[in-house]
Amino acid sequence: MIELSKFTDVIYEVKQGVAIMTINRPDRYNALRGRTVDELLAGFKTAWVDPKVGAIILTGAGEKAFCTGGDQKERAEKGNYGETETGMFEIESLHKIIRSIPKPVIAAVNGFAIGGGHVLHVLSDLSIAATTAKFGQVGPRVGSFDAGFGSAYLARVVGEKRARQIWFLCEQYDAETAERWGLVNKVVEPSELMDAAMDWALKVCALSPTALKALKHSFNADTDHIVGIQSLAFDVLDLYGKTDEAKEGGKAFQEKRQPDFGQFRN
């Protein structure tokens, strides 16, 4: 596990019993490369075992983005998302730990929550968004998808019709719409975002940790079967990523043009 002192992509700090993890790649709209995921995993594990930590806030650096998913520039340049501790891009493990950590996770969405970044906030226990936040999925546009928690659990959060709308149209939605759909719990001005997240986190820290752990596991129980679906989905995604169809999506993204998926419709 990467030591906190060696973090390059994530800022980890603890304030008043609240672990704050900030994805610190604003020049890439806080997109995830392998190193970023490794550091987030290390941060969540550190918060898990720290008896002084009662809640976690997950946010992004800067004003533009919370997280925009996998780093497509890295993927285009290297053919993958860069080096990792294990040799694997452990995004699936990151999804699982956000759900399984026995402490509430609050997403403070400060900007774009797109693609894999959208999934991270959906998986968080609570979401507070700045009025400037934008939400959406892009997978089918760039040759990717999340057929696990990113879709099946999303349907539990916003309903089947909304979830399909988010994935099948690949449009962006503002914070007001996200709140109306139940995608976020609260919307505040950008200058108030971290204070609002900290206020909720401190309220959480004042409650019984055992009761919160049992409640979180109870909330998760009804959708834990999605873990199996997700494992299958990532197996398929790994194979799909090697196809010309998937590569067309990534190539079009880099070339800033519309992808030509029609050639693969047979």
**For the chain, which residues make up each domain, given as ranges?**
4-190+208-221
pTM above 0.85, yes or no: yes
The predicted structure's pLDDT at residue 79: 73
What HEC string does 240-260 produce?
HCCCHHHHHHHHHHHCCCCCC
CB 31 within 8 A of CB 67: yes
**Check whether domain 4-190+208-221 has CATH 3.10.129.10, yes or no:** no
Q: According to the model, what pLDDT value does residue 78 have?
A: 77
pLDDT of res. 87? 87
Cα gap 190→2, rounded to integer Å: 31
pLDDT given for residue 114 in this prediction = 97
Name residue 77's amino acid. Answer: E
Segments of the chain with pLDDT less than 70: none
Terminus-to-terminus CA distance in the chain, angstroms?
Answer: 45
What order do you get walking across the sheet with 134-136 strand by strand? 65-67, 112-114, 134-136, 172-174
Rounded Cα gap, residues 266 and 262, in angstroms? 9
Ordered strands of the 10-15 beta sheet = 10-15, 18-23, 55-60, 105-109, 126-130, 186-188
Inter-residue contact 30 to 67 (CB < 8 Å): yes
